[in-house]
Structure 1
Amino acid sequence: MTGHLTRNSDVYSFGVVLFELLSGRRAFDTRFKEEEWNLAKWAKKCVKERRLEQVISSHILTQISPKCLKEFAQIAERCLKSSRKKRPTMADVVVALQQSMSLQEQFDSSAQAGPTAFTRMQFLLSCSRHNSGTAKFLHKWCVIYLVVS
């Protein structure tokens, strides 16, 4: 909104990318009703009103555990806080994503399912523990990886 690019605005952008992944929609898309053009605003409203299921792509629902989905959406929603001071750091996001990945791995192993798009993130998350500048490194690569996947 301010036009100033900072680490905090990067966190906001990452939250938008997470909702793009969950919804299968672009950040701004005029093919939908006007109140849904801006994905971030619409997703935040849906989360606040406990209507997350309206945001989530039906393709995702078959691949992700309900617990992991809830955690993933909460991470995205926290990244989109209007106040930059209330947004998590990328290091906090990494920890939260690792925790949500654990939930997904438990779901996958109990369902004896093959790897999903969400479990493929595990490689990046585990690698991040062994690198300096983790948040900056992971942010750049996670965005690239998630978009390509």
Structure 2
Amino acid sequence: MSELKELIEKYIELEDNFDEDNEEQAEKLHDLGHEIDHAVYNEEFIIVYNADTEDEEVVALIISDEEDEAEEFFIPVYTSQEEAEKAIETFVEESGENNFAFDKAVGCDIVEAYSDDEEFLGLAVDAPQCDFVIFAESVHDCSE
């Protein structure tokens, strides 16, 4: 299991048992979230794309309501090939298409590639199995 995935699991567990009156727990949750933001910046992820399209379009998770004109989206990223393969199975079931492929990219490069798109919200780690989202503006490296 990747270090990032372990951090996310700790974060989810802490968040599930969160007591908003417990300042120590709130600080721990904040610090863990910050550590995750750093890990995402440098993590090499697997991204899934539709190989049927001319420009090999990356799969996006659209979250906007039907009434909204804008289609806000997250880019799903995967911490392992197994997670990517599970996601592709889900995408095939939902879309009926079966020509998905994957490639590797670093978190900061993915965020940078979509930073000019106003509808881009961030990354969804191991979606749909986990659905842990990280907003693009949070992904950073304090050493820069």
Q: TM-score, normalised by structure 1?
A: 0.29
More strand by share: 2
Bigger proportion of residues as helix: 1
Greater CA radius of gyration, 1 or 2?
2
